[in-house]
Structure 1
Amino acid sequence: MNERKIIWVIFIILIIERIIETFLPDKNKQKGEVSSKWLFYCMLVSGILIYICAISEFIFLVKKINIFITIIGSVLIIFRIILKVWAVKTLGKFWSIQIEIREDQKLIKEGPYKYVRHPSYLSTMIEVTAGPLIFNSYYTILFVWLVYIPFLITRIYLEEKELLKKFGKEYEEYRRSVPLLLPIKIFKK
């Protein structure tokens, strides 16, 4: 099997995983108050564009595949899936593809949430960077960081506001003790 066929197989697996994650949410989920719905659609459209751009770049611009870069992207995707599943399972009925706060929402501080406040968004950042790496689509990574990541940062900001509104001092304490996205403390007080 040549390198290009391997990349297409990886891509198909990635798309199936993404469709399942996005469009087949658990039926047992409790509905809550959704805010900033527009942002979900911006992220959905730009997320689809990432893969259209990556595929187009792969087909029309990538002459020689750097298999090492493809392997790095694939390993990152595997890590991303593990992190995402861990985050979603830890949140349980409180997980949502929207910014959604439930009436009986609990502040989850265990699992990956013990190390970072937004492990699901970290996994998304890994995905949208690693996907184009698999295709050796470097221009697409530029699109990711100029278009998609600003939407994601906006979503994190808006979700933080909602969590502060819901949990008040408890969330403020959590914010002080747990890093936003990377499990390292850059500034110590």
Structure 2
Amino acid sequence: MPIALMILFGAILLQRIVELFIAKANQRWALKHGGEEHGKQHYKWFIFVHTLFFISLYIEASLFFGGWRPNAFIGLFIAFTFLQLFRAWCILSLGRYWNTRVIVIPGHELVSKGPYKLIKHPNYWVVLMEFIIIPLLFQAYMTAVIFPILHLLLLKVRIPVEEKALKESYGALQL
């Protein structure tokens, strides 16, 4: 794998690790403020799939990367950059409430600003698109097919758990 690709891979991996530290700090804050976690039993599958994603990406790119295709790379990198800005908007909009887990704090208001004002669960859709775009940047085509499917399967479990937790905490809201 070329050094520039290794740097990009490392930067994406570092970003995810930093996000896990942020999520852990937010988790501690939420639990300290009466937060209740929902869906603990499926969280391990998110960790497993995301870890496997990076392993698959690295192996496939190491074996099959065929060199830079500037036009394709530029377009994909612009899409990737847009996704990172959208991801940051999601995280900043939720602030201390952003987490990789489903934690609801009774008595707190539902966040409905930023992208959450426009669409439901925007961060999950960012991840879905990343599971397509990032592997395409690395010419890891099998990873680009397999992991969006796995993510959608996880969301079939996760979104109902999150919707139920929000409805129980915030009542009959238009979620």
Using structure 2 for the length normalisation, give the TM-score: 0.85
Deviation of 1:64 (Å): 4.1
* 8 Å CA contact 1:30, 1:94 repeated in 2: yes
Deviation of 1:26 (Å): 6.8
Find the partner of 1:36 among 39, 44, 50: 39
Other-structure match for 2:155: 152
Corresponding residue SS for 1:136: coil
1:124 aligns with 2:127: yes
The Cα offsets for residues 89-117 of structure 1, whole Å up to 9 and x where unpaired, read as 21122222101111233112221111112
Judged with a 3 Å threshold, the aligned counterparts in structure 2 of structure 1 residues 98 and 5 are, in CA distance, closer, same or farther, namely same
Between structures 1 and 2, the one with greater helix share = 2
Corresponding residue SS for 2:112: coil
The percent identity for this pair of structures is 24
Corresponding residue SS for 1:147: helix
Find the partner of 2:8 among 10, 18, 40: 10
Judged with a 3 Å threshold, the aligned counterparts in structure 2 of structure 1 residues 19 and 132 are, in CA distance, closer, same or farther, namely same
Find the partner of 2:58 among 37, 55, 58: 55
Task: Extract unaligned runs of 5+ from structure 2.
Answer: none
Deviation of 1:151 (Å): 0.7
Judged with a 3 Å threshold, the aligned counterparts in structure 2 of structure 1 residues 42 and 12 are, in CA distance, closer, same or farther, namely same
Separation (CA, whole Å) in 2 of partners of 1:166 and 1:33: 10
Aligned residues: 170
Which residues in structure 2 correspond to 1:134-145 (within 5 Å)? 134-145=137-148
Deviation of 1:65 (Å): 4.0
Deviates more, 1:43-52 or 1:55-64: 55-64
Corresponding residue SS for 1:25: helix
CA RMSD after TM alignment: 2.1
Other-structure match for 1:183: none
Using structure 1 for the length normalisation, give the TM-score: 0.80
Other-structure match for 1:187: none
Match of 2:149, as an amino acid?
Answer: L
Match of 2:92, as an amino acid?
Answer: K
Match of 2:96, as an amino acid?
Answer: K
